[in-house]
Amino acid sequence: MDAAREKAKDTAGDFRCVRCGNCCKWPGYVRISIEETAQIAIFLGMAVQSFTDEYTMLTSDRRGLSLKEKDNGQCIFYEEPPACRIEPVKPLQCRNFPARWNFAGWEKECGGSGIGQIK
């Protein structure tokens, strides 16, 4: 593990989510499993195929699906004030932030890192 990743892991240990929504505004894939696709579709009252067509895209490596992003890079399910439309069934990737995944400089963006800003 490189030094930057180790530092991020250490900082993630002090993480306490304050629901600032900054992680939801960061562009990039939110990968979802087949099971998560079905869970989210059911939660939204949609057929799985309709949900897949409307809210997901094939990742560039063609290995799976990702939630679509808004034009500004935010998650398609992010709403203001900071809220997730699919909170009870949000993907594992989202639930695992920042311990299992994060992005370079997340500590400065995330209000829950102890050093970031709530925007």
Check residue 109 and give its pLDDT.
80
Global model pTM greater than 0.85 = no
On whether the CB atoms of residues 67 and 30 are closer than 8 A, the answer is yes
Q: What is the pLDDT of residue 41?
A: 98
Domain ranges in the chain? Answer: 27-101
Task: State residue 97's pLDDT score.
Answer: 84
CB neighbours of 74 closer than 8 A, spacing ≥ 6? Answer: 24, 25, 27
The confidence band for 113, taking pLDDT boundaries of 50, 70 and 90, is confident
> Is pLDDT above 90 for 16?
no
pLDDT tens-digit series, residues 58-91: 999 999 999 999 999 999 999 988 899 999 999 9
pLDDT at residue 5, as a whole number: 46
Query: What mean pLDDT comes out for the span 41-45?
Result: 98
